[in-house]
Amino acid sequence: MRKLFAALCVGALMLAGCSLFGGSTTPLTTQQTVVNAYTASEASVTAAAVGVQKSVQAGLLTPGSTTALAIKAGLDAASKALDAANAYIAAGQYTAAQSQVDSANQQVTTAQTATPTVPADTTTTTPASGS
Amino acid sequence: MSSNTTEKTVSDVLLALEGIVEVAPALVQIISTIKNNGQITLDELNQIMATRQAAVAAADTALTGAG
C-alpha cells in the first residue's frame, strides 16, 4: 500500500512538472507536429551555418578544403530540403514536408559532425579604470 | 507521416530558435509571437526560412573562400 502511494505521488509530481516546464499533455495535430519539426530544423541549419562561419574565422576550417566542401554540400542539401518542406507545408502536404525535414536533419547532423567546434567564448572583461 | 517522427513541442522549437537569436535579430519578434500565440504563421515560417537561406549563403562563401 505504501509503495502504491509512493508511485501515485511520483506520477502526480511528473505530471505537475510537465505542466510547469512546458510539456503538453494534449496530442499535437499532424500539422502542428510537422510545422514545429520544420521550424526546429530551420533553426538547426541556421545554427550550423553560423557555426561553420565561426569555425572558418577561427582558422579551424580551411576554405576550399575537402572537409569544407563536404560541409558545404551537406548544408546546401539540408537547405534545399527545407525549401521543399516549406513549399509542401504551404500546400498542406504535411507527410511530404516531414520527409523533407527528416532529410534536412540527417544532412545537417552530418555537416555539424564534420565541423570543428570553436571553443566557448572566453572573453574577459576589463575592469573600469580607477576602480 | 513516418511512425518514427519525433514530436517537436513549442518548447523545443523556442529552445532551438533562442539558440540563434544572437545572429538573427528578426527571430526575436517571431519567438515573441510564438510565445504569445503558441502558433506560427506561414509568413513567420517564411521569415525563418529567409534567415536560414542567408546564413547558408554566408557559410557557402566562407567555406569556398569566395568574396
Q: What is the pLDDT of residue A121?
A: 61
pLDDT value of residue B27: 63
Residue A6 pLDDT > 90, yes or no?
A: no
Q: Chain B contact for A77, CB < 8 A?
A: no
**Which positions in chain B have a beta carbon within 8 angstroms of at least one beta carbon in chain A?**
1-2, 5-13, 16-17, 19-20, 23-24, 39-40, 42, 45-46, 48-49, 51-53, 55-56, 58-60, 62-65
DSSP B7-58: P--HHHHHHHHHTTGGG-THHHHHHHHHHHHS---HHHHHHHHHHHHHHHHH
Q: What is the pLDDT of residue A16?
A: 39
Please tell me the distance from the alpha carbon of residue B46 to that of residue B53, in angstroms, as a whole number: 10
- Radius of gyration of the CA atoms of chain B, in A: 14
Condensed to tens digits (0 to 9), the pLDDT of residues A75-121 reads: 999 999 999 999 998 899 999 999 999 999 999 999 989 998 877 76
Task: Give the pLDDT score at B32.
Answer: 64
pLDDT tier for residue A54 given thresholds of 50, 70 and 90: confident
* CA distances from residue B20 to A49, A99, B14 in whole angstroms, order as listed: 10, 24, 10
What are the DSSP calls for A1-66, one per residue?
A: -HHHHHHHHHHHHHHHHHHHTT---SPPPHHHHHHHHHHHHHHHHHHHHHHHHHHHHTTSS-TTSH
Are B10 and A36 spatial neighbours (Cβ–Cβ below 8 Å)? yes
Contacts of A50 in chain B (CB under 8 A): 20, 23, 55, 59
Closest CA to A42 of B48, B15, B6: B48
Q: Please write the tens of the pLDDT for every residue from B20-67.
A: 555 555 566 666 666 666 677 778 788 888 888 988 998 998 898 875
Place A19 in a pLDDT band, splitting at 50, 70 and 90.
very low
User: What DSSP character marks residue A116?
Assistant: P
ipTM: 0.71
For the full predicted model, state whether its pTM sits above 0.95: no
The most confident of the ranges A3-12, A33-42, A63-72 is: A63-72
For the record, the C-alpha cell of A88 comes out as 509542401
